[in-house]
Structure 1
Amino acid sequence: MKLNFFKYEGAGNDFILIDNRNGAFSSIKNTETIKNLCDRHFGIGADGLMILELKNGFDFEMRYFNADGREGSMCGNGGRCIVAFAKHLNLIQTETNFLAVDGPHYATISENGNWVSLQMIDVQEIDSDGEAFVLNTGSPHYVLQVNNLASKNVYEIGKSIRNNEIYSINGINVNFVEDFGDHYFVRTYERGVENETFACGTGVTAVSMAMAKKKGLFGNIKNSIKVPGGNLSVSFNYDGKIFGNVFLEGPATFVFEGSIEI
């Protein structure tokens, strides 16, 4: 079967996008097929794969699969990219309401289609693990503040935390953050990819919340985030109990389209 696909990236976090409104991909969708498509040597290559499907009451439904082929939890940069994809398909214009695995999401997109602001879920609980913070922003995250982040071996340290006795069964995304005052620098080891990625949307959202809690900040907060693949921003309101009105903003860029035999 010939599969038509689109490739998008958000701050270097890259994804395969498939329009499955006709349901054709459903008959061949399986873990091995998706894993092979995401393989950077023998497939298209991507951090994950997303399927756009129809859903009553919403503009569309987003289904996200990790690079290991398994259906994943929410992906923030993926969510922004699928909004850009929906605009390309003329499903939306400048705003949308769509459904993802963690519930409904609202988003706006620029007229040129390459800048997306995505509303994320509210967060109430932040736990601690030693000096680190643990929270779920649609996906589970571990956040640890460090110094000299550019020189850290994020792959080895992140892998060891993700696979320790606490997190090995369900897995966790491991984020390291360095505070530069006017921005945070973040690097992330992602479960499902099992490697460091150029960016992680739910990860920088988790970092912003964890650092606000650590610093005792309240009210309307907006943070600039630098990641290896570019720049993102996160804004929210924190009243001491709930992180609400959460938005992840950044680029969502079309890379190429093509077809592949599967």
Structure 2
Amino acid sequence: MDLGLQLSFFKYQGTGNDFIIIDNRLEIFPKNNTKLVAFLCNRKFGIGADGLILLESDTMSDFKMVYYNADGHQSTMCGNGGRCIVAFARKLGIINDSTQFSAVDGLHSAHIANGLVTLYMNEVDEIRSKPKYHFLNTGSPHHVQLMEELDGMDVKLEGAKLRYGLYGQEGSNINFVQKVDNDTFKVRTYERGVEDETLSCGTGVTAVAIAMHHYGNTSAEQIHIETIGGPLTVSFQKKGDTYTNVTLTGPAEFVFKGEIAC
């Protein structure tokens, strides 16, 4: 691309879910340029990432998170991206070990301890069930389907069938789940906007943990999730029909920084 821009960026990853993060407090980034975002996220021609995140100033909280899918369009909440931007904000000196920030689905609190970032997710009070799957929104829409075996599964192929076949153009993220024991599950996720399997999905594993508890596949309120990119932990409390105090915990690591002409 030739926009005459020289962009500084930071690359972060949370259990293999990787993001380009840009400090946009001076509002220099052309936020409506979907082609630019898609170019930057392209792994062949750009930097390469599952998504792009802008950190911006906010009058109601420490900062604002603006999230784009790899296809260039602004999207719903990203759990691993939320954890990564918290680590980035601390690197910039905007916060210490705790924060409250604004995202597309409202305010989120988070804290950092022992190298792990814990992000408070929104409450969940509606889960829809079908014979073979569950559907719920944890900041982003998620299809949760229990499987006997995940190894060897073509998640991109099977996920795309459900993403478009069941949910149309708007789509849903698709999570395939295998139970390991009472409080541990393996998860593989097809993400809309990326249109492929990702190594991890934060809102996805949150949806899995809540759905598995709600439908009696576990009695635990702290769930360990095994993703291809590494382990995550989801905790919650159930009060009536509402899941509250929902947290997502895992690593969020700085990879590298750089500049790109575009």
TM-score in terms of structure 1 length: 0.95
SS of 2:40's equivalent in the other structure is helix
Q: CA deviation at 1:216?
A: 6.9
SS of 2:203's equivalent in the other structure is helix
Q: CA deviation at 1:129?
A: 2.8
C-alpha deviations, 1:197-227, integer Å up to 9, x for none? 0000000000000000111766x70001000
C-alpha deviations, 1:152-210, integer Å up to 9, x for none? 1111110000011x301321000001001051000000000000000000000000000
SS of 1:150's equivalent in the other structure is coil
**Alignment partner, residue 12 of structure 2:** 8
Unaligned runs of 5+ in 2: none
**Alignment partner, residue 168 of structure 2:** 168
Q: CA deviation at 1:131?
A: 1.6
Match of 2:54 among 51, 54, 75: 51
SS of 2:187's equivalent in the other structure is strand
Q: CA deviation at 1:130?
A: 2.7
For 1:195, the aligned partner's letter is: D
**Alignment partner, residue 190 of structure 1:** 191
Q: CA deviation at 1:29?
A: 4.6
**Alignment partner, residue 79 of structure 1:** 82
For 1:168, the aligned partner's letter is: G
Alignment of 1:131-146 (within 5 A): 131-146=132-147
**Alignment partner, residue 41 of structure 1:** 44
Is 1:107 aligned to residue 122 of structure 2? no
Q: Deviation above 4 Å: which 4+ runs of structure 1?
A: none
C-alpha deviations, 1:37-88, integer Å up to 9, x for none? 0000000000000000001020000000000000000000000000000000
Match of 1:68 among 59, 71, 74: 71
**Alignment partner, residue 224 of structure 1:** 224
**Alignment partner, residue 260 of structure 2:** 260
**Alignment partner, residue 25 of structure 1:** 29
Aligned residues: 257
Q: Percent identity?
A: 50
How many angstroms apart in 1 are the aligned matches of 2:20 and 2:99?
20
Q: CA deviation at 1:134?
A: 0.2
For 1:189, the aligned partner's letter is: Y
- Going from structure 1 to structure 2, the CA distance change for 1:217 and 1:150 (only over 3 Å counts) comes to closer
How many angstroms apart in 1 are the aligned matches of 2:215 and 2:96?
39
**Alignment partner, residue 177 of structure 2:** 177
For 2:19, the aligned partner's letter is: F
For 2:172, the aligned partner's letter is: I
**Alignment partner, residue 243 of structure 1:** 243
Unaligned runs of 5+ in 1: none
How many angstroms apart in 2 are the aligned matches of 1:97 and 1:119?
10
For 1:143, the aligned partner's letter is: V
**Alignment partner, residue 127 of structure 1:** 128
Q: CA deviation at 1:238?
A: 1.1
